[in-house]
Amino acid sequence: MNRILMNLLVFLVVTTFVLALCLNVAMGQEYPSASSPLDPGNTLATAYGKNLNTGELAQLSVRWELVYSIDGPTGRQVAIKYSTEVPAALLSSGYTQESKTDPSTSYRLTLTQYYDEFDDGGRWYVSVDRYTGEWESLDPQVTGTDAYLAAGVNGSKWGGGWLYRTDDSPHFTPGDWATDTLYPSWAGTYVEVNAYRSYQCGQISVELLREPTGYKWEFWFNICKGSVPW
């Protein structure tokens, strides 16, 4: 009987350990809750389009995908991919009811932000490593004619001092598909981000030409930890 109880106890201990390990792994892959001071959900993401022929403006939705989140002794490393899609009807006829219901897509913009973060007594500090953008045409009548990445920072540096700076990547012609990476000149510097004009932000932009209409559109979207400067 004692041997049976001992075997059962060992089984329960091992099972509990495995379940706890699995739970920790699963929790490390979850999108953090809004109550967490390290919450990537505090990111502000906005996407816009402008018809360069007419001046018409349109706002688009932005989707996100958690690439990884690795907890460390004092903070964590995170990569989140954001994307927006340009409706085909928007490029051909403007922002009409048709463009809101037409499921087809002409172009996709993707921007991934790689960063480290930690909480210091309720103050949230973020260090951006890089931004990687992807430009992808999904319509043979639509091509990218100009593209670039931009980054901006404004806030109190961890350890003292203030940092305000912007960087742009060189403009280029993305064509049907392209990718590029921007390493900000302040990469590796921890800056406090909050809702009071302190931020770490990235931007991706593209100019599109649609044939045979000749319509030209500019599309861009921003992702910001903290407030939005643009």
**What is the distance in angstroms between the CA of the first residue and the CA of the last residue of the chain?**
72
Q: Are 155 and 162 in contact (CB under 8 A)?
A: yes
| Confidence band of 214 (pLDDT split at 50, 70, 90) | confident
DSSP state of 121: T
Global pTM reads: 0.77
Res 7 pLDDT > 60:
no
Give dist(CA 12, CA 20) in Å, integer: 12
Q: Hey, which bits of the chain come out as E strands?
A: 44-51, 57-60, 63-71, 75-87, 105-120, 123-137, 142-156, 162-168, 177-182, 191-192, 199-210, 215-226
pLDDT single digits (tens) 163-192: 999 999 999 999 999 999 999 999 999 999
Q: Are 68 and 114 in contact, with CB atoms under 8 Å apart?
A: no
Bridge pairing between strands 123-137 and 63-71: unpaired
Neighbour count for residue 67 (Cβ, 10 Å)? 12
**Nearest in space to 109 (alpha carbons), one of 133, 87, 73:** 133
Burial code (b: 16+ CB inside 10 Å, e: under 16) for 196-217 equals eebbbbbbbbbbbbbeeeebbb
Tell me the per-residue pLDDT of 156-169, one tens digit each, with 9 for 90 and over: 999 999 999 999 99
Q: CA-to-CA distance for 65 and 75, rounded, in angstroms?
A: 20
Give exposure, 10-19, as e/b (b: 16+ Cβ within 10 Å).
eeeeeeeeee
112-156 pLDDT, tens digit per residue, is: 999 999 988 888 999 999 999 999 999 999 999 999 999 999 999
d(CA 161, CA 15): 51
What string of DSSP letters covers 20-70? HHHHHHHHHHSPPPTT-TT-GGG-EEEEEEEETTT--EEEE--EEEEEEEE
